[in-house]
Chains A and B, each alone.
Chain A
Amino acid sequence: MEVVVRVENVSFQYVNEQTYALQNVSFQVYKGEWVTIVGHNGSGKSTLAKLLIGLLPPTSGTIHACGISLNEKTVWDVRKRLGIVFQNPDNQFVGTTVQDDVAFGLENRGVPKNEMEKRIKDALQKVGMENFANDEPHRLSGGQKQRVAIASAIALQPHIIILDEATSMLDPSGKREVLQVIQSLRHEHDMTVISITHDLNEVAKADRVIVMNKGRIALEGTPEHIFAHGAKLEEMGLDLPFSLQLSQRLKENDIPITTDHLTMEGLVSELWTLYSAMSNIATK
């Protein structure tokens, strides 16, 4: 598999701080993958995000994106290949209307007018905002603004989309909207996604999860693998999915299920199997 992001032994220390915000962080992201970087506030995940998009240079270690080593000279080159959606929906909306906002990045790249038209339409369609092209930002909901931010990013045809806590200021329906859009982009357009979050729903949808704690990578693997370390995650201030919590609690309370379920359907169906087996024994 093709590696699109390679982070090697990266450490980072803020000026005037004694401790390292990041310490010896190494990981890779493969093409077409959805990787979620998760951690509580202060775990180092936001610093990591800043390093990935070249807003801060690592104190030591290297970052490669799309085969280019990220440094002061290459940062513009690298950013051409990244689409980034930030946390605050308002503070990344540059245009006075939805289509102006999508156009902004295209104008910067010198895309000709007729090509722009096509790309704006296409990008807005992909995020389901084509009917809002002329709307002003203050008439949109947070979720809609973030969808526009995604459209603005994908109109530039990036190789990787980075969601830097892009859902953390949204209400539940806004969060759902944004995650649905990202999922459909991945299914239909094979986009590589890196999301930085503390939202569980984003974790469960990822292919791979990297858990940050105290500036280091604490755990790495599939969501199932990560959630198997339930107690450890709770110690780090993270929440467990409901089904998993319930599975564990049921075992403690003498209902003998065998697996820790990540989905409700899984848990209900095991409970049903167990129940049927028990009632069979009982009736015999």
Chain B
Amino acid sequence: MNNMIIGKYVPGDSLIHRLDPRTKLLLMFIYVFIVFLANNEWTYGVLTFFTCALLFLSRIKLSFIIKGLKPVLWVIVFTFLLHVLFTKEGNIVFQWLGIEVYDKAIQQGAFISLRFLLLIVVTTLLTLTTTPIEVTDGMESLLSPLKKWNIPVHELALMMSISLRFIPTLMEETEKIMKAQMARGVDFASGPLSERMKAMTALLVPLFISAFKRAEELAVAMEVRGYRGGNGRTKWRELTWRGIDTAFMILLGFLAIVLWLLRS
């Protein structure tokens, strides 16, 4: 689990780090769509170049990203193989033990795996360069028009930020309880199903009891500091949209147009 990098934040002061979180969220959102514009060597080439440029600008070590991608790498390889084996278009490149591999199949497999890889790299990159709280603020701001339809955007954002705040605490707690139960002879990794169920109870019951206790104490602490819902609250974190953000959005639009023109 320690090798997973998706969702982790790496502190830094790069151009990408300093972008407004709304820019990054929009960028991610739009990117998911324009990735599908690519359908030939040229468009994939442009897209890969753009993604590499983002990576470069973020100043995050490439080796770190590659290491973090290991868990999803086999999914990519699997997707590739699936396409190679089951697409039957174009000319046969080679035959072996009744397996026929077509050139179009290799091309398509490569494109789809690349698309998948690019998507993952970009989303990972954005979470690596944006603190979770910035993501929350960005979301709250982008979703604020929904308040008109009585959607509790403020409450949802607060919930999200509190969950973010407590994730490390609860992870630590989970580990502590697991260790305490392991010391009492619990085996979380193997054993028959009935024993594993028991093991999960030994973990989950204490975890829930503590989480409820925390929630209760936190509610009291919030109340005594005057929290009574979103009305009349001011905000400490204000997002500032700068020239560079506008520039990025224009660049993205430009990218979409280029892809549109180059696609076949």
Do chains A and B directly touch (beta carbons under 8 Å) in the complex? Answer: yes
Residue B13 is within 8 A (CB to CB) of chain A in the complex: no
Question: A97: which B residues are within 8 A, CB to CB?
Answer: 133
Counting chain A CB atoms within 10 Å of each CB, the highest count among B165, B218, B222, B238 belongs to: B165
- A136 and B164 alpha carbons, distance in the complex (Å): 11
Q: Are A96 and B164 in contact (CB under 8 A)?
A: yes
B136: nearest chain-A partner, CB-CB: A96
Question: B225: which A residues are within 8 A, CB to CB?
Answer: 94, 104-105, 108, 152-153, 156
- A116 in complex: contacting residue of B164, B169, B222, B234, CB < 8 Å: B234
How many residues on the A side are at the interface (Cβ–Cβ under 8 A)? 38
Residue B220 is within 8 A (CB to CB) of chain A in the complex: yes
Question: A107: which B residues are within 8 A, CB to CB?
Answer: 233-236
Residue B92 is within 8 A (CB to CB) of chain A in the complex: no
- A156 and B225 alpha carbons, distance in the complex (Å): 8
Q: Are A108 and B236 in contact (CB under 8 A)?
A: no
B206 shortest CB reach to chain A, Å? 16
Residue A109 is within 8 A (CB to CB) of chain B in the complex: yes
Q: Give A74-118 interface residues, CB cut-off 8 Å to B.
A: 76, 79-80, 82, 84, 86, 88, 90-97, 99-100, 103-113, 116
Contact A100-B226, Cβ < 8 Å, known A55-B220, A86-B220, A91-B217: no
Q: Are A109 and B226 in contact (CB under 8 A)?
A: yes
Q: Are A110 and B235 in contact (CB under 8 A)?
A: no
- A96 in complex: contacting residue of B161, B220, B222, B224, CB < 8 Å: B161
| Cβ-Cβ contact count across A and B, 8 Å cutoff | 88
- A180 and B227 alpha carbons, distance in the complex (Å): 29
Residue A32 is within 8 A (CB to CB) of chain B in the complex: no
A120 shortest CB reach to chain B, Å? 8
A281 shortest CB reach to chain B, Å? 63
- A217 and B228 alpha carbons, distance in the complex (Å): 35
Q: Are B227 and A138 in contact (CB under 8 A)?
A: no
- A113 in complex: contacting residue of B172, B232, B236, CB < 8 Å: B236
Question: A153: which B residues are within 8 A, CB to CB?
Answer: 225
- B235 in complex: contacting residue of A90, A113, A120, CB < 8 Å: A113
- B224 in complex: contacting residue of A82, A91, A100, A106, CB < 8 Å: A82
Contact A108-B226, Cβ < 8 Å, known A93-B165, A94-B162, A95-B165: yes
B209 shortest CB reach to chain A, Å? 13
- A247 and B189 alpha carbons, distance in the complex (Å): 58
Q: Are A84 and B235 in contact (CB under 8 A)?
A: no
Contact A79-B226, Cβ < 8 Å, known A94-B221, A95-B165, A106-B236: yes
A270 shortest CB reach to chain B, Å? 46
Flag B152-168 by CB within 8 Å of A: 1 or 0 each.
00000000011011001
Residue B181 is within 8 A (CB to CB) of chain A in the complex: no
Residue A53 is within 8 A (CB to CB) of chain B in the complex: yes
A193 shortest CB reach to chain B, Å? 16
B173: nearest chain-A partner, CB-CB: A90
Residue B131 is within 8 A (CB to CB) of chain A in the complex: yes
- A91 and B221 alpha carbons, distance in the complex (Å): 8
B171: nearest chain-A partner, CB-CB: A138
Question: A109: which B residues are within 8 A, CB to CB?
Answer: 226
B134: nearest chain-A partner, CB-CB: A96
Question: A96: which B residues are within 8 A, CB to CB?
Answer: 131-133, 161, 164-165
A95 shortest CB reach to chain B, Å? 7
- A120 and B131 alpha carbons, distance in the complex (Å): 21
- A88 and B173 alpha carbons, distance in the complex (Å): 14
B226 shortest CB reach to chain A, Å? 4
- B226 in complex: contacting residue of A55, A80, A112, CB < 8 Å: A80
B9: nearest chain-A partner, CB-CB: A136
11 A-B contacts, Cβ less than 8 Å apart?
A84-B224, A86-B217, A86-B220, A92-B221, A94-B165, A95-B161, A96-B165, A100-B133, A104-B225, A108-B228, A138-B168
List A residues at the B interface (Cβ < 8 Å): 53, 55, 76, 79-80, 82, 84, 86, 88, 90-97, 99-100, 103-113, 116, 120, 136-138, 152-153, 156
Closest 3 CB pairs of A and B: A103-B236, A92-B221, A91-B217
14 further A-B contacts with Cβ under 8 Å, apart from A116-B234, A137-B165, are A79-B226, A90-B214, A91-B217, A91-B218, A94-B222, A95-B161, A96-B161, A96-B165, A100-B133, A103-B237, A108-B227, A112-B234, A116-B236, A138-B169
